[in-house]
Structure 1
């Protein structure tokens, strides 16, 4: 079960919550445009969705209008070439006009009747002008360039500070603040005189959300909530379960305090969705945490009972199989002695790789030679490999073992087991091959690795263990 389909629920919710007003009318005239369909498209996180269409005449004039108001946020006017975009802000002022020029969309756009759009383009045009000046200076390469660069930088900062102060309370200023990185004061120096980079990172992270308004529902109709969640969770948080759970709860608490149900829902959905099938080994527990704390308690506003049931069932499967849990034992028919069973917990090796597969599966056949190579190299290092065929006939299983010369591995036939087993539910095998890596106590240290990832994973894991066991300098003194 993937949670991406829940996006539809949130989009519908936003549209149905729009506050009643007199509708909208946006008139445009674009020089260089001579007919064709133009689209008015709204942002929802990082996606844009067509909301209205208008036919431009031979002089580039067109009108978007409707009887119901638009949901407020960032919109794009998409020109007939489907490449040129003109950004507009939709706030309470939904009756305005603009003119533009295809040769310079930002520099030659003029808006009338919408203060937010007027100052939005005032800001962009100033920044574009000073950027052009910067590029001209850069090309000149004259001795006084550095001072002129500094003067230009000071000019931009003065304009920015004044602009933000004079237009405080507008949606435009709120957007600029939300999208900007936090300003970092001078960092303290360490005893050796070097800048404390850890202090810089910690300050940046602790102030990352300072200027994002979780109480403003319009922020979901911009790219910024998604972008900031993505950066905070993926880039600024250590990708281990404990750290991720802590930061997930921190961000969700901000959303909850903002009291906007759609922002709460998107924040919870985004984090949960990242870790349902995670790319980082050992982070499945984040999904379980989010599901149990938010979905199954009703904090996540999902009205679809089938979705909640799917989440509940997924948690039931995953929870016993998370990294650091002891894998459930299983006895299956032995290749070497068909009259006895081999058990997952039967190996005394330092590490054990369990390879669930189907003898007729294409990916399994591609993986088999790599698995043999891995086994032959790591067997002397205390690694055992146990293969469990979970589909096919006994004849197909034995043929597979011989074909790929796997006789030195612990090969088993899982269609005959010591207990009733449903591999999809009991071992989360919804595709083959599925690989687990266990330590000597049969604790799961990795799951769902590709066979080609086994060697690098074990090398890194063993190095990390060695570092953890190594006594510190202080303890040796």
Structure 2
């Protein structure tokens, strides 16, 4: 068996539950979609720390494997068996088709249990569930791949394809009924009859799923299908709280004790939806949702590692539009990237990420802005806290930075228009030298306080800079009320704060 991580440049079809409507609350997540590869092999390393009695990445194996796939119309040639892991794919094996379109997939050790697909000709895919029993036959016609599948000897794949067909039929009927309802008068007999038909149809789907879940509770496909189902929207709470409870119960159908699910697309699909669609995109809401999920996953190390790292990378300050992504990073690191919990990192890696979090953590939104005492171009000490204006703009820049060359003239113009409105600017030059700094002040005609410390001692761990220029807005109490801004956004922050204080 050959395992190799790589990126598959194709998009493949949904394989299961279609949504009953298009809202963010109602769409299910047991679908397959293109994902990026993991940074390490899905099989992990023999040196990965043992957290709960097994090594992270060690798969739940099935097999031995002896699978016969016959695809009528498939040309003889080389094909690939592709597996899922977390947010990536890996090459599980290379296989050959003979002149009759027959592929034999064999491995005496078996394959990690999970969802797979065979890449066929013309970018077509055949989806396979490899559970505990990996001896079966499957046959289909290349011209109508999914609708012609016949399975022999595998309850996993029999249910998989039966469910796919059921969901497709259900979705079509549901759309037709919904479309008819929309054109009818509220309360009319015809509309009421169609509403009842719709309710009965939805109940038939639930009955179908409940029967499958109760009859085959331990099959991988059943666990996958169950994990993708949404919680029922609660009618016993106010409308304003429905999304909260939906989000709170969103992971209830996922069995985190079953490590096989991380080798299916359902976990990543749910994670993306949970953190982006169901969570308000502000730093407090993002961390609140993250904490709710990651705390749930801590006892299950494979999921804990994946969730913690995915969230930190997703909301990396340079990759998000949040006003204060550093807040998400700092809270995630302080809570989960510790020497006790971050078992996937050595002590130096933990120290490095903790130090970065410390540097970010001094200038989070809502905190009191740190004081800075540094030297201006005339050799005089300038103390930030001695500025008396109601609002203070802290401007971090570099004279050679392309975006600074664009933003600095705009800030000078903005300051000249607003300096009589109880507003001041405290500019801090970084990563430069004295000559370059002074020449830049003259060139841009910056006429507000400007400081530079070649040693960085006076500004270290004060106001965090990810990319220059960086703009912070401090109110009269010197609380940080805005950050990661462009010059044209400063007035929005000021107007919002003034309105709040009226």
TM over 0.5: yes
Alignment-derived partner of residue 67 in structure 2: 26
- Contact 1:15/1:71 (CA < 8 Å) preserved in 2? no
Aligned pairs (5 A) from 1:255-266: 255-256=297-298, 259-266=299-306
Which of 75, 95, 103 is equivalent to 1:54?
95
- Contact 1:245/1:286 (CA < 8 Å) preserved in 2? yes
- Deviation at residue 446 of structure 1 after TM alignment: 3.1
Aligned pairs (5 A) from 1:389-468: 389-407=429-447, 409-410=448-449, 412-415=450-453, 420-421=457-458, 423=460, 425-463=461-499, 465-466=500-501
Which of 386, 397, 402 is equivalent to 1:362?
402
- Contact 1:394/1:413 (CA < 8 Å) preserved in 2? no
- Deviation at residue 214 of structure 1 after TM alignment: 1.4
Q: Structure 1, residues 153-209: CA drift from partner, whole Å, max 9, x if none?
A: 735642541343144403323222211221225457xxxxxxx42243244233222
- Any unmatched runs of 5+ in structure 1? 189-195, 471-477
Cα separation, 1, equivalents of 2:65 and 2:351 = 41
Change (3 A) 1:339 1:268: closer
- Contact 1:134/1:149 (CA < 8 Å) preserved in 2? no
1:291 and 2:333 are equivalent in the alignment: yes
Partner of 1:42: helix, strand, or coil? strand
Partner of 1:12: helix, strand, or coil? coil
- Any unmatched runs of 5+ in structure 2? 1-35, 46-54, 185-189
Q: Structure 1, residues 290-335: CA drift from partner, whole Å, max 9, x if none?
A: 2222221422322433321221221221222222333333333334
Cα separation, 1, equivalents of 2:277 and 2:180 = 38
Change (3 A) 1:75 1:383: farther
Alignment-derived partner of residue 192 in structure 1: none
1:208 and 2:250 are equivalent in the alignment: yes
Cα separation, 2, equivalents of 1:174 and 1:377 = 63
Runs in 1 of length 4+ with deviation above 6 angstroms? 134-146
1:173 and 2:219 are equivalent in the alignment: no
Partner of 1:406: helix, strand, or coil? coil
- Deviation at residue 136 of structure 1 after TM alignment: 8.0
- Deviation at residue 461 of structure 1 after TM alignment: 4.5
Partner of 2:419: helix, strand, or coil? helix
- Deviation at residue 263 of structure 1 after TM alignment: 1.2
Alignment-derived partner of residue 116 in structure 2: 75
Which of 204, 228, 241 is equivalent to 1:158?
204
Q: TM-score scaled by structure 2? A: 0.77
Q: TM-score scaled by structure 1? A: 0.81
- Contact 2:67/2:134 (CA < 8 Å) preserved in 1? yes
Cα separation, 2, equivalents of 1:55 and 1:9 = 24
Cα separation, 2, equivalents of 1:352 and 1:201 = 38
Cα separation, 2, equivalents of 1:432 and 1:271 = 24
Change (3 A) 1:154 1:301: same
Q: Structure 1, residues 198-244: CA drift from partner, whole Å, max 9, x if none?
A: 24324423322221111111121122223323333344344555554
- Contact 1:34/1:58 (CA < 8 Å) preserved in 2? yes
Which of 232, 245, 248 is equivalent to 2:274?
232
Aligned residues: 447
Partner of 1:30: helix, strand, or coil? strand
Alignment-derived partner of residue 197 in structure 1: 239
Change (3 A) 1:439 1:132: closer
* RCO higher in structure (CA 8 A, sep ≥6): 2
Change (3 A) 1:380 1:297: same
Q: What's the RMSD between the two structures over aligned residues?
A: 3.5
- Contact 2:394/2:473 (CA < 8 Å) preserved in 1? yes
Out of 427-436 and 235-244, give the one that drifted further: 235-244
1:268 and 2:304 are equivalent in the alignment: no
Alignment-derived partner of residue 41 in structure 1: 82
- Deviation at residue 150 of structure 1 after TM alignment: 6.0
Cα separation, 1, equivalents of 2:361 and 2:175 = 56
Alignment-derived partner of residue 44 in structure 2: 12
Alignment-derived partner of residue 374 in structure 2: 332
Change (3 A) 1:280 1:74: same
Change (3 A) 1:203 1:359: closer
Cα separation, 1, equivalents of 2:216 and 2:61 = 26
Partner of 1:290: helix, strand, or coil? helix
Higher helix share: 1
1:63 and 2:104 are equivalent in the alignment: yes
